[in-house]
Amino acid sequence: MQLKRITEIETLNKLVKNNPVVAILGPRQCGKTTLSRQFSAQWPSETTFFDLENPQDARRLNEPLLALEDVSGLVVIDEIQRVPDLFPVLRVLADRNKKASYLILGSASRDLIRQSSETLAGRISYLEIGGFSSQLVGASKAEKLWIRGSFPRSYLASTETASYQWRQDFIATFLERDIPQLGINIPAKSLGRFWRMLAHYHGQVFNASEIGRSLGVSDHTAQRYLDLLSGTFMVRQLRPWYSNTKKRIIKRPKIYFRDSGILHALFALEDKKDVLSHPKLGASWEGFALEEAVKIMRLKEEEVFFWGVHAAAEIDMVFQRKGRLFGIEVKYAQAPNITQSMRSAMAELSLSHLWIIYPGKESYPLDKNVTAISLADLKDIS
């Protein structure tokens, strides 16, 4: 079963028209290859695919300039992070070969494959994708998406057990194969211990000193591990929003696992019953809802923040649109209320509107410029 990502295809059509090179970035197994094939199916001319995990394709690109300089149409290169030396070649081709458009797929962020931004400046545009969203699978399937996570194979697995096993295998493969392939020399056991410990910080402010002491590593090493998991799209660091205030603003990032299914697997939670009885239940749903908001509202990583002061006023996520500041709170409750913390934050930040995402099906106003909103209606936020 395949779900067609119409929104992403429309975005790619716009990006390809204006840039000789377009990169689709996202975690492994999130559907980048499927999306590229769905996009190429409506491409008006020939498409040439190269999968750099395929030894035969990798050999074809041993002499990349020779292999690509006469190719026209759409050229798709999958797993580009495996051969970073291709980026200077793509710069030459983007300038020289006007008959081709290049679509490159990578499982690491721009920061981890810096060559793309350095050598292709002015020639490349980026589209970051995650797994499935509730908008794609349907609001009625949101709970299944939360429990299993958004990776297509986990979500579409025939049983809960099969889904859970896929996620456990993904974690092992990520640690033992994917990280070394990025040229990063970190023992799998060390990063695995950090990853599992980090799960307990989901929805909380990251404390490098605290987690470093627990693991017997330095603050710098703990931060390096966190940045690596962020750069491979496993974790989202919500940076603090700095406002003009005399109050003591929280200056460390908040940590959210991008995929709720991976979070559940790290906690050894196999099914809905396990999740609903776990102490991190509320935090799990909070992270899931925030990630849904980011996906559905098409917010970029550099556009989302959180805000908090040490006096306890806090907003889960803030973002700007057309020069105005908006806020999102998440409450795992059937009847969310406006708290004093929310009112303080709204006044302090002069928020134009605050949406409170909750698990219910109806959206309704709670106060002037405050709305309780369901996941299904996130698409209506503009």
Could you report the per-residue pLDDT of 123-160, keeping only the tens digit for each? 899 999 999 999 999 989 999 999 999 999 999 999 99
pLDDT of residue 184: 84
Same-domain status, 47 and 109: yes
Same-domain status, 101 and 147: no
User: Which of 166 and 341 is assigned the larger pLDDT?
Assistant: 166
What distance in Å separates the CA atoms of residue 113 and residue 125, rounded to the nearest whole number?
A: 14
pLDDT of residue 297: 92
Q: Which domain holds residue 124?
A: 6-128
Domain end position, chosen among 109, 128, 147: 128
Same-domain status, 260 and 156: yes
Same-domain status, 77 and 206: no
Specify if 352 maps to a domain.
yes
**Which residues are paired to 101 by β-bridges?**
74
pLDDT at 244 over 90: no
Specify if 370 maps to a domain.
yes
Specify if 1 maps to a domain.
no
Average pLDDT over residues 21-30: 94
Which of 62-66, 119-123, 259-263, 308-312 is modeled with the greatest confidence? 259-263
Beta strand 353-357 with 324-330: parallel, antiparallel or unpaired? Answer: parallel
Element (H, E) at 128: strand 124-128
Same-domain status, 79 and 154: no
Confidence category of residue 110, pLDDT binned at 50, 70, 90 = confident
Same-domain status, 331 and 275: yes
Q: Are 247 and 309 in contact (CB under 8 A)?
A: yes
- Helix, coil or strand: residue 32: helix
pLDDT at 274 over 70: yes
Confidence category of residue 337, pLDDT binned at 50, 70, 90 = very high
Same-domain status, 183 and 35: no
Closest of 264, 258, 257, 261 to residue 279, by C-alpha:
264
Tokens of 366: 């709670």
pLDDT of residue 97: 82
What distance in Å separates the CA atoms of residue 63 and residue 36, rounded to the nearest whole number?
A: 24
Other CB atoms within a 10 A radius of the CB of residue 79 amount to 22
Residue type for position 15: L
pLDDT at 308 over 70: yes
Specify if 197 maps to a domain.
yes
Indicate the number of domains in the chain: 2
Confidence category of residue 115, pLDDT binned at 50, 70, 90 = low
Same-domain status, 289 and 140: yes
Same-domain status, 172 and 248: yes
Average pLDDT over residues 182-209: 93
Tokens of 78: 């999958």
> Which residues have a Cβ under 8 Å from the Cβ of 302 and sit 6 or more positions away?
none
Domain end position, chosen among 89, 105, 128: 128
pLDDT of residue 246: 67
Average pLDDT, the chain: 92
**Cα-to-chain-centroid distance, residue 150:** 10
Same-domain status, 120 and 142: no
Give this prediction's pTM. Answer: 0.93
Domain end position, chosen among 82, 97, 128: 128
Same-domain status, 221 and 297: yes
pLDDT of residue 382: 64
Average pLDDT over residues 228-239: 95
What distance in Å separates the CA atoms of residue 38 and residue 43, rounded to the nearest whole number?
A: 9
Residue written as tokens 């090179």?
21
What's the CATH number where 78 sits? 3.40.50.300
Closest of 248, 227, 222, 194 to residue 301, by C-alpha:
227
What distance in Å separates the CA atoms of residue 79 and residue 58, rounded to the nearest whole number?
A: 10
pLDDT of residue 40: 95
Same-domain status, 249 and 371: yes
pLDDT of residue 24: 95
